[in-house]
Amino acid sequence: MSPEYIVPLGTSAAVPSGGRHFASLAYVAEAYVVLFDCGEGTQFRLIEAGIRTSRIRVIAISHLHGDHYLGLPGLLSTMVMQQRENPLVLIAPAPLEEVLALLPGIGTERRPFEIDFRAIESHFTSGRVYRNAPETSVGTGGFSITAAALDHTVTAYGFRLQADDRPGNLDVEKAVGLGVTEHDDYRALKSGKSVQATDGRIILPPDVVSPPVSGSSFAYVSDSRPCAAATELASEVDLLYHEATFGEDDRERALATGHSTAREAGEVAARASARRLVLGHFSARYPDAEVLADEARAVFPRVESAKELERYYLRNPDPPS
């Protein structure tokens, strides 16, 4: 039912090591891709993941540390070269707009597409920063992104991507049997309105349409200390991607550098009643991130450490047809 998945493109903290790359994560839905963070080399990781840049509708940047945004100028430059036409939504801390304007030689002054820059100002604490209208009258493909200020060494934001609920399926055979034969009536029923059948009877949506399916949800928290804003973003989410730069042995270091331990990430997932937790943003001190997943598992069972370029589905993927 819900084919959305995430692909961690880079799971490294600060210094690339052990085959890990700088922070970036693609959220892939049928009709669009949302990119969270864009560390140096992200455009190459997208190629390796087989995700065309033309599919990216939104890029959300968590904070202005180099390992989270230095791939953005190059990605925009490549989009210019590729003659992208569709508008691009860019959600980021406000100062990034000026940075992009000052960088020479990235060609964005002659770009053939619009950048809808949603600047997050420094006084922002939490709220919706983007709403994507549904593609059709029955609500397919709509989603919202909310942001919330986290607890890091610089201003940093976490994000929640909430897909709209999907309308249920219409049982056409049953509708015809009840005397509803017009396409407009089918559409009305699917969008929750009642219609009149040929014999004058009023047909209500539940008579012929299965219940709506709740939209899937995803939260991205990197970089941050564990905090209430993270828990709020991740509330009952299908999948939470949370940074886990360190293990318990480095708890003091996590505190000093504004990062989380794996166990702390697990505690956020537990408090938020998240369905699934994927850890990322690993320090080079942890060549094997499984030890971090183990530490988180002590407080939250459904946890994995992110493997780059693998798919993590928000819900069970469709069985192969």
Residues that bind a second copy (CB under 8 A): 14-16, 21-22, 40-41, 43-44, 47, 63-71, 73-74, 77-78, 81-82, 95, 99, 102-107, 154
Selecting among 37, 67, 164, 185, the annotated active-site residue is 67
User: In whole angstroms, how close is the CB of 81 to a second copy at the nearest point?
Assistant: 5
Q: Residue 301 carries which side chain, given as an amino acid letter?
A: P
Give the residue with the Cβ less far from a second copy, 15 or 172.
15
Q: Which two tokens mark 4?
A: 């959305």
Neighbouring residues of 163: CB distance < 8 A, sequence distance ≥ 6? 2, 4, 29, 142, 143, 215, 216, 217
Q: How far is CA 15 from CA 38, 119, 245, in A?
A: 15, 27, 12
User: In whole angstroms, how close is the CB of 125 to a second copy at the nearest point?
Assistant: 21
Query: What span, in angstroms and rounded, lies between the C-alpha atoms of 217 and 165?
Result: 10
67 is catalytic: yes
Query: What span, in angstroms and rounded, lies between the C-alpha atoms of 126 and 229?
Result: 8
User: In whole angstroms, how close is the CB of 152 to a second copy at the nearest point?
Assistant: 11
Residue recorded with tokens 């049928």: 30
Give the residue with the Cβ less far from a second copy, 47 or 228.
47
Query: What span, in angstroms and rounded, lies between the C-alpha atoms of 247 and 253?
Result: 10
Query: What span, in angstroms and rounded, lies between the C-alpha atoms of 134 and 155?
Result: 31
**Coil, helix or strand for 140?**
coil
User: In whole angstroms, how close is the CB of 289 to a second copy at the nearest point?
Assistant: 19
Give the residue with the Cβ less far from a second copy, 144 or 155.
155
Which of 115, 132, 127 lies closest to 158 in space, CA to CA? 127
User: In whole angstroms, how close is the CB of 248 to a second copy at the nearest point?
Assistant: 23
Q: Which two tokens mark 36?
A: 């969270």
Give the residue with the Cβ less far from a second copy, 44 or 113.
44
Supply the residues annotated as catalytic.
67
